[in-house]
């Protein structure tokens, strides 16, 4: 069986054990996922769950939302079923679990591509509809995507050695330096003429948001794919990826991000403070 066939088989298996609740949300049962990920004993899977929960907490997410404690019917030796303690995992929880599992196992390596890629495909499954959205609606959609991809970037950067809030701020500034021709977050904030309370990403048009979404996605992929270790190397990787994105924009004749017009309205003003978005 070829590598591609193995990958497709694993991806299909992840789909087969997926459930949909009454609200239309996807979830995976812990004991089923443990078997698929080649953990012979569920107790050996528990430390991985704990690591993933910690990563979830570090990324600013509510652990209980993504790791829901519940019971699962499990076959026992006699052929009967027993109701045993388990979890229901969101797709994001599954993503964190495979990121904290042994990548030498092919099924786990494939899981590390399946969960983020399928999430991305879902989000962009209706490209034609996106094209027909108003600019304000495009901004809302892309800003939400940016928020989700930043969560993944935080987790992956943390695994690379970007550990503290200060570390991550420096890491982010390396990315902004590369994409914005030397401007850091403070410089972009001043360039846009924003108030102290306003956030950069809430004051970007759809074109600028798309460029930032692309750089976040590509940086996260490169950090993970090449197993970058050490915050100095992680910072350099973020800068290099973003500089390449800037170069591509230039080669295509596009407007540099810092020269794109600032929208008239802050997204926070549009959706209200209840959205709880952060940069």
What pLDDT sits at residue 59?
A: 73
CA–CA gap between residue 64 and residue 61 (Å, rounded): 9
Burial of 205 (0-12, 13-18, 19+ CB in 10 A): middle
Q: Are 143 and 263 in contact (CB under 8 A)?
A: no
Residue 275 predicted with pLDDT over 50? no
- Structural domain boundaries in the chain: 3-99, 129-275
Residue 223 pLDDT level (bands cut at 50, 70, 90):
very high
Between residues 133 and 232, the one the model is more confident about = 232
Residue 192 predicted with pLDDT over 70? yes
pLDDT digits (tens, 9 = 90+) for 73-130: 777 666 667 778 889 998 888 888 888 887 777 777 667 666 765 555 555 544 566 6
What pLDDT sits at residue 5?
A: 47
Q: Is the pTM of this model over 0.75?
A: no
Q: Which of 8-22, 37-51, 251-265 has the lowest mean pLDDT?
A: 8-22
pLDDT digits (tens, 9 = 90+) for 8-25: 444 567 778 888 887 777
What pLDDT sits at residue 110?
A: 66
**What does the H/E/C string look like for the chain?**
CCHHHHHHHHHHHHHHCEEECCCCCEEEEHHHHHHHCCCCCHHHHHHHHHHHHHHHHHCCCCHHHHEEEEEEEEECCCCCEEEEEEEEECHHHHHHHHHCCCCCCHHHHHHHHHHHHHHHHHHCCCHHHHHCCCHHHHHHHHHHHHHHHHHHHHHHHHHHCCCCHHHHHHHHHHHHHHHCCCCCHHHHHHHCCCCCCCCHHHHCCHHHHHHHHHHHHHHHHHHHHCCCCCHHHHHHHHHHHHHHHHHHHHHCCCCCHHHCCCCCCCHHHHHCHHHCCCC
Residue 279 pLDDT level (bands cut at 50, 70, 90):
very low
Work out the average pLDDT over 138-153.
Answer: 84
Work out the average pLDDT over 227-234.
Answer: 94
265-269, Cβ contacts within 8 angstroms, sequence gap of 24 or more: 265/136, 266/198, 266/202, 266/203, 267/139, 267/140, 267/143, 267/202, 267/203, 268/198, 268/199, 268/202
Residue 226 tokens read as: 């090449």
Considering the chain, what percentage of its residues have pLDDT values greater than 70? 82
Residue 189 predicted with pLDDT over 90? yes
Q: Work out the mean pLDDT of the chain and round it to a whole number.
A: 82
Residue 208 pLDDT level (bands cut at 50, 70, 90):
very high
CA 48, 49, 54, 57 torsion-angle sign: positive
pLDDT digits (tens, 9 = 90+) for 162-176: 999 999 999 999 999
């Amino acid at each position: 069986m070829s590598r591609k066939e193995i990958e497709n088989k694993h991806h299909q298996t992840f789909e087969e054990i997926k459930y949909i609740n009454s609200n239309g949300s996807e979830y995976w049962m812990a004991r089923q996922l443990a078997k698929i990920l080649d953990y012979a004993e569920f107790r050996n899977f528990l430390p991985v769950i704990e690591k993933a929960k910690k990563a979830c907490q570090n990324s600013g997410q509510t652990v209980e939302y993504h790791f829901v404690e519940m019971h699962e019917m499990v076959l026992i030796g006699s052929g009967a079923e027993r109701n045993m303690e388990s979890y229901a995992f969101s797709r994001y929880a599954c993503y964190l679990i495979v990121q904290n599992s042994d990548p030498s196992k092919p099924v786990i390596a494939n899981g590390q591509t399946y969960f983020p890629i399928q999430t991305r495909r879902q989000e962009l499954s209706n490209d034609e509809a996106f094209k027909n959205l108003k600019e304000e609606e495009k901004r809302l959609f892309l800003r939400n995507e940016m928020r989700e991809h930043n969560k993944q970037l935080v987790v992956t950067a943390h695994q690379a050695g970007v550990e503290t809030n200060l570390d991550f701020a420096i890491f982010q500034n390396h990315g902004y330096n590369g994409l914005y021709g030397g401007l850091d977050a403070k410089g972009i904030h001043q360039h846009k003429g924003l108030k102290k309370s306003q956030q950069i990403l809430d004051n970007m048009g759809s074109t600028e948001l798309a460029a930032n979404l692309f750089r976040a996605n590509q940086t996260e992929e490169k950090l993970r794919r090449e197993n970058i270790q050490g915050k100095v190397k992680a910072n350099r990787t973020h800068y290099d990826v973003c500089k390449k994105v800037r170069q591509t924009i230039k080669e295509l004749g596009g407007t540099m991000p810092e020269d794109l017009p600032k929208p008239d309205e802050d997204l926070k003003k549009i959706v209200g403070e209840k959205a709880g978005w952060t940069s």
